[in-house]
Amino acid sequence: MFNGSYIWSLVIKGGYMKKVDYLLLIAIIIISLFGLLMIYSSSYVWAEYKFNDPYKFLKSQAIFLIVGYVIMIIVANIPYTKYLNKANIIFGVCFLLLILVLIPGIGTIRNGSRSWFGIGSLGIQPSEFTKLALIIFTSKYLAHNEKLLKDIKKGVFPILGILLLVFGLIMLQPDFGTGVVIVMTIVVLLFVSGVKMGFFIKMGILGLMGVVILVIMAPYRLKRIVSFVNPWTDPLGSGFQIIQSLYSIGPGGLLGLGFGNSIQKHFYLPEPQTDFIFSIISEEFGFVGILIVATLFITIIYRGFKIGINSEDKFGKFLAFGITFGLSFQALLNLMVVVGLIPVTGVTLPFLSYGGSSLLITLVSMGILLNISKYN
């Protein structure tokens, strides 16, 4: 019979535990477990009031975390080169899911967005899976079409066309924050692949015009921008979240109020376990907590970029860079919202915010990074 020690010896002999990036793995485990702890702390008041179960959000997230750990270990042992042949299929399936979620009766509406497939009390968000699928697809495209990229029309426009289709489907949900993360990740991948700078200047101007049009089309986005500039213009409406977030961050001081002692989670800050969980971390753990979280993120991002730089082939380089940049940009976007530097986008904080799909796909992405590190 197989026992634990026998399986462990196989893993050691197989080379996985010898070659894996231990520092990255440890940082992932610590920050995700800390996220689970903070989801309980930030949500138990709301969960007990709404569901009569203070552990409601904790249990749901714990299920996804355990499943995510298992899948991460499995993915970390699958050679990343396997995704080269499967990239089109992976992206095609995720693209189909983006279409299906928009169909009434198939996709479910949560918080005003038709972005979910409901499975009991749990939900799956296909746009999260599309982020990784598009990174894999684009990495394959860039690795195989390096010479073609010198011609903007033949080399760059095809991938931009696919990107616009994905962005359009996500905006129909609507989910502006996720759309921005996807667009920025792919654009930066194009930049590091060697596409001329002049092209990105033109793209930036067009993108700015597009944002203006999107704001005009949806009045609630304009309210978010106004509330960002001066949240006190509508303190009980569009500016409410930012004001309450700042009230949460302010009293934290050096060491914070202590675990579980947040005041703002008592129905002041709406659903603090999601987009604004960093506010509760700041309130309960103060500057020390912020420093710890920042250190963990910096460690993961640094190791991710280093894995990309040291990768033996271009597909591995693009894949590692895309995953790492997407993670870092999403984290930065969330933190800027929490401290009031940009309007509310609805983007979650990786590893820490409540959300099964986000956590699951983040851990899968980390599994791919760990696998690429084995070949360095």
Q: How many Å separate Cα 284 from the centre of its chain? A: 24
Output the pLDDT for position 11. Answer: 41
> What is the SS3 assignment for 342?
coil
Provide, rounded to the nearest whole percent, the portion of the chain with pLDDT above 70. Answer: 89
Distances (CA, A) of 294 to 33, 223, 335: 15, 30, 10
When pLDDT is cut at 50, 70 and 90, the band that residue 2 belongs to is very low
Provide, rounded to the nearest whole percent, the portion of the chain with pLDDT above 90. Answer: 45
Most distant CA pair in the chain, distance: 69
Output the pLDDT for position 342. Answer: 81
In whole angstroms, what is the distance from residue 7 CA to residue 13 CA? 10
Buried b (16+ CB within 10 A) or exposed e, 283-321: bbbbeebbeebeebbebbbebbebbbeebeeebbbbbbb
Output the pLDDT for position 294. Answer: 95
The residues pairing with 117 across neighbouring beta strands, listed in sequence order, are 124
Q: Which residues have a Cβ under 8 Å from the Cβ of 13 and sit 6 or more positions away?
A: none
pLDDT (tens digit per residue) in 202-245: 777 887 887 777 767 766 666 666 666 777 777 777 678 888 88
pLDDT (tens digit per residue) in 154-201: 888 889 899 999 999 998 888 888 899 999 999 999 888 877 777 778
Label the pairing between strands 108-110 and 122-124: unpaired
pLDDT greater than 60 at residue 312 = yes
In whole angstroms, what is the distance from residue 280 CA to residue 262 CA? 6
- More confident of the two residues 106 and 362: 362
pLDDT (tens digit per residue) in 10-26: 344 444 444 788 999 99
pTM: 0.87
The whole-number average pLDDT for the span 360-375 is: 94
Output the pLDDT for position 233. Answer: 74
